[in-house]
Amino acid sequence: MKLLKKIAIVVVIIGFLFSSYIAYCYFTKQPVPFFGRKITGAYFSIATGTTKNPLEWKVSEAKVFNRENNNIPEKLLMADPFLHQKDGKWYAFFEIMGSTHADIGVAVEENGSWKYLGIALDETVHLSYPLVFEKDSVTYMIPETKRHSQVRLYKTSNFPFDWEVDKVLIKDKRLVDATYFEKDNVSYLFATENELLRLYVADSLQGEWTQHPKSPILTGNYTRSAGRLLKHNGQLIRFAQDHFGGYGRAVYGFSIDSISKTVYKETQLDYNPILKNQGETWAKNGMHHIDIHQLPDGTFKAIFDGYGYGKEKITFSLTNNF
């Protein structure tokens, strides 16, 4: 009988400690073991900021895109923003929700404020993650076109509008958040399929793309890209979404230590997460994307997204923490 009482006391103590830990994780918005966060009524917004350290951002000081001045409804999703500088002006390309699906919107920065210009790219399917870059004096975009079962390369001769398919880079694959970069005259592309981070390689952007021999290079969490790669202090940094405990919780950074046509190795940065909810701000429920550019004076300019408002619910699952 005494043994049963002791066992009961131990069980109660363990239960109390575990419940306290779960409560602590929940109220501090930390990953909750075996539970997932579901945000209802929330919506993504985008904002810009500057800093001296590209791995440290004060979300509360960011300039949030002014929806009212641009006639964009309050709860219309705006996410996955990328910056591109053209003719001395900064442009922002981002996912924006339409009546039936998401399109790619574009805005220009004028006198320190963002002016919405309209839809840059509209397809019959959902579009997002518009990675825009310049190569050989041509402006390209690789948006997410998962529902076409393709990774498509677009180009424009009338920036920032009139985008047309230049080439299908990868066929018959439902990939998301394709992120292109070059190193040592070799072209690479990260793309996510379910919970697998795949790596593709080619001799050039217009070359024949094949899957890297080490691909998939990661499974589970941190497999979905969170923006353009950054070169900083001798490191090539990959940004990834943290989904542990719920979608879009934070952004983590990973140093690509070794990469070639046959080798790939990365390590997680010591200073993580790079972005996360920081108190009762416009992004209080989470952040999942960043695009960083170095300015001539050595500081850094970035655009990122986050979602706030809404209500948070907790759901139990052994598999939903990714």
SS3 31: coil
At residue 322 the predicted structure's pLDDT band, cuts being 50, 70 and 90, is very low
At residue 100 the predicted structure's pLDDT band, cuts being 50, 70 and 90, is confident
Q: Which long-range contacts (CB under 8 A, 24 or more apart) does 199-204 make?
A: 199/264, 200/169, 200/170, 201/261
How many secondary structure helices (H) and strands (E) does the chain include? 1, 24
Per-residue confidence (pLDDT) for residue 60, from 0 to 100: 87
At residue 316 the predicted structure's pLDDT band, cuts being 50, 70 and 90, is low
Q: What does the alpha-carbon distance between residue 54 and residue 293 come to, in Å, rounded to a whole number?
A: 9
Q: What is the mean pLDDT of residues 14-37?
A: 69
pLDDT digits (tens, 9 = 90+) for 267-286: 999 989 999 887 788 888 88
- For residue 220, the tally of other CB atoms under 10 A from its CB is 12
The DSSP line for 67-120 is: TGGGT--TTS-EEEEEEEEETTEEEEEEEEE-SSSEEEEEEEEETTEEEEEEEE
| CA distances (Å), origin 12, targets 7, 34, 198 | 9, 20, 45
Write the CB contacts of 2 (distance below 8 Å, at least 6 apart in sequence): none
Of the candidates 171, 177, 137, 130, which has an alpha carbon nearest to the alpha carbon of residue 154?
A: 130
The mean-pLDDT minimum among 4-8, 52-56, 82-86 falls in: 4-8
The mean-pLDDT minimum among 64-68, 112-116, 170-174, 310-314 falls in: 310-314
| CA distances (Å), origin 111, targets 67, 142, 274 | 17, 29, 28
pLDDT digits (tens, 9 = 90+) for 226-237: 999 999 999 999
DSSP-assigned letter for residue 148? G
Q: What does the alpha-carbon distance between residue 25 and residue 160 come to, in Å, rounded to a whole number?
A: 44
Q: Name the one residue in this structure whose structure tokens are 């990939």.
A: 175
Alpha-helical (H) ranges within the chain are 2-27
174 burial type by CB count under 10 A (0-12 exposed, 13-18 middle, 19+ buried): middle
Write the CB contacts of 172 (distance below 8 Å, at least 6 apart in sequence): 149, 150
Q: What does the alpha-carbon distance between residue 168 and residue 160 come to, in Å, rounded to a whole number?
A: 21
Write the CB contacts of 158 (distance below 8 Å, at least 6 apart in sequence): none
| CA distances (Å), origin 243, targets 45, 63, 208, 313 | 18, 25, 32, 15
Per-residue confidence (pLDDT) for residue 253, from 0 to 100: 97
Confirm if 210 and 222 have CB atoms less than 8 A apart: no
Q: Model's pTM, two decimal places? A: 0.87
Confirm if 291 and 190 have CB atoms less than 8 A apart: no
Pick the CATH number of 32-316 from 1.10.3720.10, 3.40.50.1370, 2.40.10.10, 2.115.10.20: 2.115.10.20
